[in-house]
Amino acid sequence: MSFGQAISDGFSQYATFSGRSRRSAYWYWVLFVFLGSLVAALLDNILGITIEGATVAGNDSVGWISLVFALAVAIPSLAVTFRRLHDTGRSGWWWLFSLICCIGAIVVFIFCLTDSTPGDNEYGPNPKGA
């Protein structure tokens, strides 16, 4: 799957929490969100459009463009993570493990790095064969 296809897939399955996603689809989506966040923050700083009094992670300026981008990709990011976990044969609810400081995020990161379960699983057919 290419970078563009992964972005298209992420938005076309905006809130689809069922099925499976390949590693490439997941990691290209993560790259898109990372690059999009950088561009949004850069635009916020260049244009000087910030939300007064807002603080996130110790940063005293939160921009409107960054906020809109974050809200636009929040649900599809969660959905693609669920589908990626399904592809490894795990429930999408393993995502909640990432809320546990450091250790949980590392565990979910490793799960997302692992290869697909071969063949069909309880979450659907293997996307590599589809």
* Token digits of residue 60: 């005293």
Beta bridge partners of 56: 59
For the chain, the structural domain boundaries read 3-113
pLDDT digits (tens, 9 = 90+) for 62-113: 788 998 999 999 999 999 999 999 999 899 888 888 888 889 889 999 999 9
Contact 6, 28 (CB under 8 A): yes
Mind listing the pLDDT tens digit for each residue in 18-29?
Answer: 999 999 999 999
**pLDDT score recorded for residue 71:** 93
Say yes or no to pLDDT of 120 above 80: yes
* Residue 102: φ, ψ to 5°: 60, -65
The pLDDT of residue 126: 87
Query: Which amino acid would we find at residue 43?
Result: L
Question: Cα separations (Å) of 74 from 14, 69, 121?
Answer: 10, 9, 27
Counting residues of the chain whose pLDDT is more than 70, the rounded percentage is 92
Q: Compute the distance between CA of residue 89 and CA of residue 73 in angstroms, rounded to an integer.
A: 24
Look at residue 57 and tell me whether its pLDDT is greater than 80.
no
